[in-house]
């Protein structure tokens, strides 16, 4: 096994492991907010790790600079956290309760203040 294969294997294994952890988090976390967090971390870190392995494979083994893979990495890196934030905010605004053992509700004061302001 060459050094290139070892590096590529490490990236793929890290990506698969992070995706597995995200899947376990989707099952284990008690509320939509924790599940959204787990899904976003696995999508962002796990998928990007596998995409980096793919990019490096094409670059080192095939000798092809795959710019589209770099754009896909950037796209996932920028859009996954924003999408998770929008899902979590929509869940909060529609009244999905926090887990009873959550430490604090940081958004409660902000939304109460907005509701009391005149339109």
- Give the residue, 67 or 99, on which the prediction is more confident: 67
- Give the residue, 111 or 25, on which the prediction is more confident: 25
- The CA–CA distances, whole Å, from 40 to 18, 22, 102 equal 11, 8, 19
Question: What is the tens place of the pLDDT at every residue in 39-71?
Answer: 998 889 999 999 999 999 999 999 999 999 999
Contact criterion met (CB below 8 Å) for 84 and 39? yes
pLDDT of 5 over the 70 cut: yes
pLDDT at 116: 66
Please tell me the least confidently modeled range out of 18-22, 78-82, 83-87, 114-118: 114-118
Containing structural domain, residue 82: 3-116
Domain total of the chain: 1
């Amino acid at each position: 096994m060459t050094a290139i294969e070892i590096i590529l294997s490490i990236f793929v294994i890290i990506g698969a492991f992070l995706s597995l952890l995200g899947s376990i988090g989707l099952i284990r976390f008690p509320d939509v907010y924790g599940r959204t967090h787990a899904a976003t971390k696995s999508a962002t870190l796990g998928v990007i790790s596998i995409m980096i392995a793919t990019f490096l494979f094409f670059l080192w083994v095939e000798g092809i600079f795959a710019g589209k893979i770099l754009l896909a990495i950037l796209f996932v890196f920028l859009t996954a956290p924003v999408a998770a934030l929008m899902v979590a905010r929509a869940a909060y605004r529609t009244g999905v309760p926090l887990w009873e053992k959550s430490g604090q509700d940081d958004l409660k004061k902000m939304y109460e203040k907005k509701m009391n302001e005149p339109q």
